[in-house]
Structure 1
Amino acid sequence: MKITLISPYPDITTFGLRTISAYLKKHGFQTQLLFLPDPHGDNIVFGKDRYEPYTMDEMVEICRDSDLIGITLMTNHYDCAVQITKKIKSALNTPVIWGGIHPTIRPEECLEFADMVCIGDGEEAMLDVANAVEEGRDCTSCGSIWVKSNGTISKNPVRALDGSLDDYPMPDYSFSDHYAMSDGRILPLTYDLTKKFLERGTVSAYLKKIGYQTMTGRGCPHKCTYCINDTIKNLYSGKGYLRWRTTAHVIDELMWVKEHMPYVGFIWISDDAFFARGLKNIEEFCKEYKEKIALPFSCLASPLTLTEEKLDILVDAGLLYLQMGVESASKRIQDLFNRSTMSNDRMMKAIQIINKYKDKMYPPSYDFILDVPYETDEDKIESLRFISEIPKPFRLQPFSLVLYPETKLYNMAKDDGLIADDKRDIYAKSYTMREPSYLNLLMTLSKGGRLPSAMLKLLTAPGVVDVLNSKALKPMFKNVYLGLQKAYRLTKGLGGRQ
């Protein structure tokens, strides 16, 4: 019984897929991993195939002796998964199952191409499917699995979250039967090629260290209307979705990494809400981490869960870089996002706490969401004025809003007629596709945290905005914005080839 697991994600970390692979191996199954990073990256072109024909031919040969093929995807990888599945179906008689965020929220749409979809967490469900396929049984009774057969769909309820995250082994980094696409060709994912991929990670590039990305928990305590976390949480009636691995379980993984991947220079903890851990839990983690791992690390924070007491302990243990979601400084948009408890005062208090450690950490990153359909120019200006008050040094990460299906904000926009075509307006949109406007240009110029605060205040003054953001000057600023964007991509491309 051989199972191939495929990821079109932009990097090769893919924590969930690697964990499923390790869990299947633990139960005696043979797996191979195939990483096919979307060649378009953030520059998605609607209606265009993502992969070259020769890449798909190579993929088929790797999958040829598989008994089951699984594909993980988010919404913006939908076209990748469709192309991969069509090619597999045209060449092989192997069942294909889709899993991940998009199949969880839109299973029937995914069953137009896949034979099965997995809804919610995948480890236990994939083990059930693997056992059924090996034994020649159908999968119509497997929990969390929807199956299409002879034009009908068997819909099984989502499995209860009754297991501990410690039941799952560390992600599969065996370097055995792992493949990755590089420059269109599919190559064995060797130790050295893995190192090269990890060097390209966004945080790795910023810190100029090679990062190993892991997750110490699943879920998020917040209920932001633009985020799919809240939708997933509701699958489980809001109960038990926020879970943590024990400190010992995480430390065991990281000790393996130190021994087998000595080039790793920092640990990238990508939990949605690492600071939501209790203080005693953080104290325990930091004590063990400092004694046994002693590498710099990064993590995410939110204004509601960050405290000086927690941050002090984490910095002492090696916290080097922090990313926090501000999203908007407009009270009206904060209400729209269901983030009214994260007021400007609360956010600035958290920022000032972070700034106390500026001599011990890299400049932190603060996330902002742009291009919100309900946003006015005044809402945008409020965010820019808030930025002018942020103490330096800092970085900004502006993200264009993608209205992911089945989020509360998506449903609102759909009801209000603001989404004409899901596949064009959402599936083929990246968060880097910001509207080229004067106010977004100011956000872009503020990204490095070097634009003088006084200048940003001047450029957002009422009279100045009235002129520079006028209809007459919109074409000019659009061209300036697009020109800067093109120059940045060219510089980034040249840097990647040096």
Structure 2
Amino acid sequence: MRVVLIALFHYESFALRSLFSYLKARGIPVSFIGFKRMRHKAARTLKNDFMEMYDCHTETTQEEIEVLLAELERLGPSLIGLGVQSSQFPLACRVTRAIKKRFSVPVIWGGAHPTIDPERCIAETDLVCVGEGFEPLRQLSERIEEGRPYRDISNIWVNEGGAVTRNESRQLIDDLDLLPFANYDPEDKTYIDDGRMQPERNIDYFGYGFTDNPRKTIHQTMTSFGCLMNCSFCVNALTHERFRRRSVEHVLREIEEAARENPGLRMVFFWDNIFQVGKKWCLEFAEQYSKRVRIPFFAYSHPLFMEQETLVALRKAGWSVTVMGLQSGSHSVRKRIYNRRETNAQILVAARRLDALRAVKSLHGVFRIYYDYVKNNVLETQGDLRESLDLILSLPKNFIFQAFNLSFFPNYLLTRVYLEKGFITENDIEGNSTASGNDWITSFDKRREYRGFLRIHEYYYLLFSLAQFKLFPNTLVRWMERRGIFFGRLRSLHLLCRTVRFLDLYFRPSNYVWLFAILRMVSLRLKYRHGAFVRLR
């Protein structure tokens, strides 16, 4: 009996690595295959940052499919699992069909896409895990090994020649401390990319090479599952997964273990939806982290979770990078369309508190603040964009502004509204479209002729970009907007933005402090010494 878990385009796949650990801890032989990795694509995004890149998928060749099949034949699995995100649906179908032609082995899909669109997924595979997969996958593996039927396992749908059994959902695991740490060691793991096996090779979040062993410079984890918010563009709005959190001790033991195994560790990424939930937990974490770990970390933040004492404690402990979602500067758009409760006044309070953390003494001298914005929303009017500009101009300067294209996922309320209004078609929904994997960031295209809605929106996005830089006065941005300066010449406005970005970014000393910190994080010397450096492509 062996279970093989396949991660599509996500070598770091926290969910599959957690499942790997869970099965392994229960004595079930398991292997992990990283099939294809995300590649970095240059994008002139006008971010107040040296890194203007984003992750995207590349074409999967038949040669790579054959390499995958050969590796599966070598492993001889009794069960094959695929982690599937919406943008990966076409590839998951292709891989599954290839597997079914070669092997008489059940294939199960799990992850975000099978959870939000199980009906479509179960038509393409043998089994689908809807929701949390730890116990369902364990039970399924044991029953296959024992030769017992598995038609009645909660959370799992079964397709037997077109006859589908849809089992009920099960309760979530309450105590997350019962779960083993996500497994990042090289044992029983292989990677396939560039048309061949990549033995002991993995790619960290920034695209730099390391081999799943002490050459890793970044550790990624989560302290919580679920979210207290209900944003209409997020999977949590559909699954309503309640918020659960690991104990501080459990989290710290994981990071201490990672630090012992990886002497080159420079940064910890906490991928929790909102990290600052629960003042008592956060204060305990900050106190213990600063004593036992002392490694800079990244964490998301939210305007409604900005308790001052919590923020300062986390900053002192090593919090060095954060991303806070604005989504829109229009309160009406946020409330009506995105189901976000925060007011503009609350966003400004949050932004000022984050900015004040720059002055707090910490393990990491620089505190980087990113603000996210949802781009190309056809329901966002010029009045909404003007309100957004007012808000962004009111934020403390020297932040990093990044805009992401609005994506539409199956069965989301947001998607249904746009379908009913005729703004999108079925072809625009993820699973049919792969925009969230390839085009989730777009930058200004000098060769494109922007008209109507797109011209108005692109004009304001360029003004938003100017608002991040100290070098360019707010009064000048407001004057340009009132008079429509450059509205008919977007290429000239884009050139102005690029010029301001260059001057502000390259002539501000604090930016080089951050660049030096990034270079330390990459740990090139350690990678070169151990032959683990992989050139960024």
Structure-2 separation of matches of 1:105 and 1:340: 21
What residue is the counterpart of 2:62 in the other structure? 53
2:150 is the alignment partner of 1:139: yes
Contact 1:365/1:394, CA 8 A, preserved across alignment: yes
Contact 2:65/2:95, CA 8 A, preserved across alignment: yes
1:156 counterpart letter in structure 2: N
Structure-1 separation of matches of 2:304 and 2:262: 35
Cα distance change of structure 1 residues 42 and 337 upon mapping to structure 2, 3 Å threshold: farther
Higher RCO by CA contacts (8 Å cutoff, separation 6 or greater): 2
What residue is the counterpart of 2:411 in the other structure? 406
2:345 is the alignment partner of 1:336: no
Contact 1:395/1:447, CA 8 A, preserved across alignment: no
Provide structure 2 residue ranges, at least 5 long, that are not aligned to the other structure.
43-56, 209-215, 360-364, 446-454, 500-533
Give the drift of 1:7: 1.0
- Deviation per CA, 1:55-102, whole angstroms, max 9, x where unpaired? 111101111211111011111111221121122112222111000111
Cα distance change of structure 1 residues 89 and 444 upon mapping to structure 2, 3 Å threshold: farther
Cα distance change of structure 1 residues 198 and 434 upon mapping to structure 2, 3 Å threshold: closer
TM superposition score normalised by structure 1: 0.85
Contact 1:225/1:336, CA 8 A, preserved across alignment: no
Cα distance change of structure 1 residues 163 and 280 upon mapping to structure 2, 3 Å threshold: closer
Pick from 422, 429, 439: which aligns with 2:435? 429
2:234 counterpart letter in structure 1: C
2:1 is the alignment partner of 1:7: no
Give the drift of 1:455: 6.7
2:305 counterpart letter in structure 1: T
Structure-2 separation of matches of 1:403 and 1:180: 30
Give the drift of 1:439: 2.4
2:277 is the alignment partner of 1:268: no
1:212 counterpart letter in structure 2: H
Cα distance change of structure 1 residues 374 and 199 upon mapping to structure 2, 3 Å threshold: closer
- Deviation per CA, 1:240-292, whole angstroms, max 9, x where unpaired? x200011111111111100111211011111001112x111111111221121
2:462 is the alignment partner of 1:442: yes
- Deviation per CA, 1:163-213, whole angstroms, max 9, x where unpaired? 31111100012311211234332212x2xx33x534527xxxxxxx93211
* Greater CA drift, 131-140 or 255-264: 131-140
Cα distance change of structure 1 residues 330 and 284 upon mapping to structure 2, 3 Å threshold: same
Contact 2:401/2:465, CA 8 A, preserved across alignment: no
Structure-2 separation of matches of 1:311 and 1:332: 28
Give the drift of 1:105: 1.0
Structure-2 separation of matches of 1:181 and 1:478: 43
Structure-1 separation of matches of 2:389 and 2:422: 28
2:97 counterpart letter in structure 1: K
What residue is the counterpart of 2:23 in the other structure? 24
SS at match of 1:427: coil
- Deviation per CA, 1:387-434, whole angstroms, max 9, x where unpaired? 222212211121111022222211211222222124667632132146
Give the drift of 1:449: 4.0
Contact 2:11/2:37, CA 8 A, preserved across alignment: no
What residue is the counterpart of 1:223 in the other structure? 230
Pick from 111, 126, 131: which aligns with 1:115? 126
Structure-2 separation of matches of 1:107 and 1:5: 19
Give the drift of 1:383: 1.7
2:207 is the alignment partner of 1:178: no
2:88 is the alignment partner of 1:93: no
2:417 counterpart letter in structure 1: M
Cα distance change of structure 1 residues 152 and 120 upon mapping to structure 2, 3 Å threshold: same
Pick from 170, 181, 197: which aligns with 1:159? 170
2:224 is the alignment partner of 1:213: no
Contact 1:12/1:35, CA 8 A, preserved across alignment: yes
- Deviation per CA, 1:322-378, whole angstroms, max 9, x where unpaired? 111111111221122455531111001000001112244332101111111211123
2:62 counterpart letter in structure 1: P
Contact 2:444/2:494, CA 8 A, preserved across alignment: no
What residue is the counterpart of 2:362 in the other structure? none
- Deviation per CA, 1:216-244, whole angstroms, max 9, x where unpaired? 001111111111112111xx6xxxx2000
Cα distance change of structure 1 residues 106 and 348 upon mapping to structure 2, 3 Å threshold: same
SS at match of 1:287: helix
2:239 is the alignment partner of 1:232: yes
